[in-house]
Structure 1
Amino acid sequence: MDIITGYTGSPHVTAEQDRDVNIGIFGAESYVLRTGSRLKAEVSSNNEIKVRDGVIMHQGCAASIKKNTYDSLTIANGSQGMKRVDLIVARYSRDQNTKEESLVLKVIQGTPKESGPAVPGYTTGDIQAGDLIADMPLYQVTLNGLNITEVKQLFATQDSIAELSSNLLNVKADLTKANNNIAIINSNLISIVERGTKNNY
């Protein structure tokens, strides 16, 4: 067994270990955490979308946009009389030679069509399995002619442990109240049945 959170005299914690810890806490899926601006998208122009600060957990891989800053993404010009759907993804990649890893925002451009444009494909990937690319879809950007007409959020947000605990307490309280109501109803039904039985005699 290898210690992870402990001093050993030399660097020893790997990215794979760190991701495994995060997967154990948050799960193997991909989320935006409830901190900062939660990667809120803002349309700055028909050629620019700003993604505000926040933290993502992509298959255990954590990455952030610094607080009170944003990443700027360029949207290619639309075409008059044509419609198009682009995807904004958070792309994990690992260089096969150097083994260096990165996680950056990327626009995957769709194909223009007069009607019913398709959403472009992306690489799902499995980071812990060693895949070189794994995309996390963040936003679907719809263009009609030259204009961006919709930016649709695709990601889920993940509650903190404190928020999950609070939600569980609320559910427990609701269940207790429901059980009390059921007990009262049962008691009333028993009384009605007993009265009916007495009246029959």
Structure 2
Amino acid sequence: MTMNLITGKAGAPHITSSDQGAMQAGLVGNGNYLLQGGDGKFPAVTMQSANKALVPVLNLVIEGRYARVTAAETVTIESGVTGRNRNDLICVKYTRDSNNIETIALAVLKGTATSGTAADPTVPSGSILNNSGTVWIPIARIPISGITVGTPVMLVKQLPPMSQLWDSVTLYQDSNWIIMRNGRMILIKFSGKIGSGSWDAVECPVKLASWYRPIVELSTVCLVSNGQTARSLTARADGTIRVANMGNVGSNQDCVGTLCFPIP
């Protein structure tokens, strides 16, 4: 029989991790996601010392499997070399043995040192949903320049709680930018200066998360206080947002632009 009532009473154990994982992947997506903590914030990896990265208490959904770091854990990063650059990846390493026993642990994929721009190490192929025996899930990048370790960069996507689907939330705000979500609408506002060159531009310091991006590039015209120059406010499908002069002599006056679009 190929059809099973997973959450029905069968009179014998019949719900597997694959069943639960397939359902959770169908609900939240097939990728890897970081859930917010009890304080409403998304935790991040930090450097405890030059050779110790601290992975905090966090909750993950990795290809449908729910995993937790229940107590902060350190991961060893190998020292860098003067004049060489390297990227290491902190990963969750998933394994499934011949008896279908599944385990996970934190592990490091060491990158290749180079005198030029460092690249991330190749992540071995594999998929939990495809029953691979070993799967590597990168959660943070550790950039190393010479013997100096930079700030870890979180790679796993943030998955906001369902309550935010209808709440009004400020996603980002500084002196020039406001990005808000209200239900299924995104509002972007820019107010400030960008320079007077014909193609001068200012890019927003943050990119929109994948689920907040427009499906195509969207633009609107910004109003300039002296009326001399038209400027465009653009949100791209890759999540970048920018304000730019449109090929004409600019001005040093403030401009204001607002862009609003729906999200799926």
Q: Same fold (TM over 0.5)?
A: yes
Q: Looking at CA atoms only, which structure, 1 or 2, has the larger radius of gyration?
A: 1
Task: Tell me the distance in 1 between the aligned counterparts of 2:161 and 2:134.
Answer: 28
Taking structure 2 as the reference length, the TM-score comes to 0.59
Higher strand share: 2
Residue 137 of structure 1 deviates from its aligned partner by 1.6
1:89 partner SS: strand
Q: Find the partner of 1:91 among 90, 93, 96.
A: 93
Residue 18 of structure 1 deviates from its aligned partner by 0.5
1:128 partner SS: coil
Deviations for 1:73-107, whole angstroms, at most 9, x for unmatched residues?
00011112221111111222212x23211122211
Cα separation, partners in 2 of 1:13 and 1:31, compared to 1, 3 Å = same
Stretches of structure 2 lacking an aligned partner (at least 5 in a row): 170-180, 188-264
Residue 108 of structure 1 deviates from its aligned partner by 0.4
1:73-112 to structure 2, matched below 5 A, reads 73-95=75-97, 97-112=98-113
Contact 2:34–2:59 (8 Å) recurs in 1? yes
| CA-based RMSD | 2.4
Deviations for 1:161-186, whole angstroms, at most 9, x for unmatched residues?
222233699346889xxxxxxxxxxx
Residue 38 of structure 1 deviates from its aligned partner by 3.7
Higher helix share: 1
Residue 22 of structure 1 deviates from its aligned partner by 0.3
Contact 2:6–2:14 (8 Å) recurs in 1? yes
1:116 has 2:117 as partner? yes
Deviations for 1:96-146, whole angstroms, at most 9, x for unmatched residues?
x23211122211001112222221011242212111222222111111222
1:44 has 2:41 as partner? no
Which residue does 2:248 correspond to in 1? none
Q: Find the partner of 1:62 among 66, 75, 82.
A: 66
Taking structure 1 as the reference length, the TM-score comes to 0.76
Cα separation, partners in 2 of 1:171 and 1:148, compared to 1, 3 Å = same
Which residue does 1:32 correspond to in 2? 34
Contact 2:143–2:150 (8 Å) recurs in 1? yes
Aligned residue pairs total 172
Structure number with greater CO (CA < 8 Å, separation at least 6) is 1
